[in-house]
Amino acid sequence: MIKVGIVGGTGYTGVELLRLLAVHPNVELTAITSRKEDGLPVADMFPSLRGRVNIAFSSPDKADLTKCDVVFFATPHGVAMAQAPELFKAGVKVIDLAADFRIKDKVVFEKWYKIDHTCPELLEEAAYGLAELNRDNIKNARLVANPGCYPTTMQLGYYPLLKNALVDAGSLIADCKSGVSGAGRKAEIGTLFSESSDNFKAYGVAGHRHTPETSAQLQKFTADKVGLIFTPHLVPMIRGMHSTLYARLTKDISNEDLQKLFEDQYKDSAFVDVMPFGSHPETRSTRGSNMLRLALHRPDNGNTVIVLVVQDNLVKGASGQAVQCMNLMFGLEETTGLTQIALLP
Ligand SMILES: NC(=O)c1ccc[n+]([C@@H]2O[C@H](COP(=O)([O-])OP(=O)(O)OC[C@H]3O[C@@H](n4cnc5c(N)ncnc54)[C@H](OP(=O)(O)O)[C@@H]3O)[C@@H](O)[C@H]2O)c1
């Protein structure tokens, strides 16, 4: 059994990791930390886990994470980088759900995240945890940088177009929407029910931290200079993410060939569903599952291709993707413990 520790077990991605790992056949939950809830049985805070998770939260200083085989950091940025070196000395693998190791360039990281990077020597080594595009690196990694939720949709949606040099890489436009759980469980005015329900707004239009992460990854897919405009929006739902990706075609290609390109690209990816051309994927078709669904459109058969992408921000956008990486790192089937069907209605 893989001994698993979770730092930040009281947050939304933390409890989602618990939900997935509690029924994972190869996992033994060994330590779950919380600074505020030391000693509280996990199931007392989350009754959904009663009878499934029988351990208590412990404060980070008491939890002996060096006994684990792998530790997930479901924490704000800055926490994993502070603890990873010590865990590596004990032979423990690390999967960070935050951004500490996603951006290879220390200066860019520090500009966007406004903290010093305390172990830049690990940046090159970290495997970017998007299994569909980086499976082999993840298999051999001791450190995985789990991708951001929006960047997951943008990369999987744009990859086949950029890799095959079909679109103008310099004029990509991503219009993306997230449910409120994307902001985490901490108390904030903007996520109060009376602020976020019955309301719809854009945010971070002038610049969002997921832009440098996504642009750097997209740049790996093409020799042309990537130009990405990314506009996130907050929608009054709890879970779910919908990204509408626009790109200008620069080559002649039929709709059938476009569709085939995407189907071929993802035929061995259990968690990417390429829906029929012209479909409208809904966020609820992914709710609680690790599936990302996408569909292609081409209005008036013109030269703009639109890729609609949906996922559950907490599963494929975070904790499910992290478990997918863990499976690869420990030589398991990539889909182990991740075959839940979305909850509907
Ligand atoms: N929410 C999403 O949809 C989503 C998607 C992709 C990635 N992410 C990323 O995943 C990470 C976690 O997000 P979340 O939404 O789960 O956040 P959250 O709900 O705010 O939870 C954060 C957790 O971290 C713990 N924590 C905070 N500061 C800590 C510290 N200094 N040391 C140790 N533990 C600390 C908190 O517990 P205590 O205060 O009890 O210690 C809490 O359990 C973030 O980096 C986020 O950007 C989130």
Q: What is the pLDDT of residue 45?
A: 97
Q: How far is the CA of 186 from the centre of ligand 1 (A)?
A: 8
Q: What is the pLDDT of residue 27?
A: 98
Which residue among the candidates 68, 119, 149, 176 is catalytic per the annotation? 149
* CA 149 to ligand 1: nearest atom: 6
CATH fold of 2-125 reads Rossmann fold (3.40.50)
- Which pair of structure tokens corresponds to residue 269? 């990816």
Low-confidence ranges of the chain (pLDDT < 50): none
Q: What is the pLDDT of residue 50?
A: 97
* CA 77 to ligand 1: nearest atom: 45
Q: What is the pLDDT of residue 327?
A: 98
- Of the options 3.30.565.10, 3.30.360.10, 1.20.1250.20, 3.10.20.30, the CATH number for the domain spanning 149-313: 3.30.360.10
Q: How far is the CA of 227 from the centre of ligand 1 (A)?
A: 30
> What is d(CA 292, CA 337) in angstroms, rounded to the nearest whole number?
16
Which run of H or of E encompasses 107?
Answer: helix 106-113
Of 7, 10, 13, the residue with max ligand 1 atoms within 8 A of its CB, to mutate for a pocket test, comes to: 13
**Domain residue spans of the chain:** 2-125, 149-313
Contacts with 2 (C-beta within 8 Å, 6 or more apart), sequence order: 26, 27, 28, 69, 70, 326, 330
| 149-313 shares the fold of 2-125 | no
**How many CB atoms are closer than 10 A to CB 182?**
23
Q: How far is the CA of 245 from the centre of ligand 1 (A)?
A: 28
Residue nearest ligand 1's atom 33 by CA: 8
Q: How far is the CA of 296 from the centre of ligand 1 (A)?
A: 34
Q: What is the pLDDT of residue 33?
A: 97
**How many CB atoms are closer than 10 A to CB 76?**
17
* CA 37 to ligand 1: nearest atom: 40
* CA 182 to ligand 1: nearest atom: 3
Give 173-192 as a 3 state SS string: EEEEEECHHHHCCCCCHHHC
- Any catalytic annotation for residue 149? yes
Question: Which residue ranges have their beta carbon within 6 Å of ligand 1?
Answer: 7-14, 34-37, 60, 74-77, 79, 97-98, 148-149, 181-182, 184-186, 313-314, 317-318
Residue nearest ligand 1's atom 21 by CA: 11
**How many CB atoms are closer than 10 A to CB 174?**
26
Q: What is the pLDDT of residue 218?
A: 98
Q: How far is the CA of 129 from the centre of ligand 1 (A)?
A: 18
Q: What is the pLDDT of residue 204?
A: 95
CA end-to-end span of the chain: 35
Nearest to 229 by CA among 239, 244, 240: 244
Query: Residue 246's beta-bridge partner residues?
Result: 173, 306
For 121-178, what is each residue's pLDDT tens digit? 999 999 999 999 999 999 999 999 999 999 999 999 999 999 999 999 999 999 999 9
